[in-house]
Amino acid sequence: MSLIGSIIGGGIIGALARFFMKGKQNMGMIITIIIGMASAALADWLLMKVGVTNGFLQFVGAIVVAVVLISAYLGITNKKEK
């Protein structure tokens, strides 16, 4: 995948993960894209290890991993709105 495709895909995955999370996340667009890109790569790697090659399942897996990574980021940086 090209760099531009990775950025767009990461932005979509990160935005969808933030949409499905409860509450407000106080984080910027760049962090959202980076977490989305990382989650897509991690989900792809994990699902390939168990033999899943379905594109839709990889997309859903990337969103789930992004929710976990965003939660970890907010927990580490203490940026959660109360």
User: pTM score, two decimals?
Assistant: 0.84
Q: How far apart are CA 74 and CA 52, in angstroms?
A: 29
80, β-bridge pairs:
25
Angle between the N-to-C axes of helices 55-77 and 3-20, in degrees from 0 to 180, rounded to the nearest 10: 70
Split into its structural domains, the chain has a count of 1
The boundaries of the domain holding residue 56 are 3-77
What digits encode the pLDDT tens for the residues 63-77?
A: 999 999 998 998 888
70: Cβ–Cβ under 8 A, 6 or more apart, which residues? 14, 17, 18, 21, 25, 27, 32, 35
Residue-wise pLDDT for 26-57, tens only, equals 888 899 889 989 998 888 888 889 988 888 88
Domain assignment present for residue 28? The answer is yes
Note whether residue 82 is domain-resident.
Answer: no
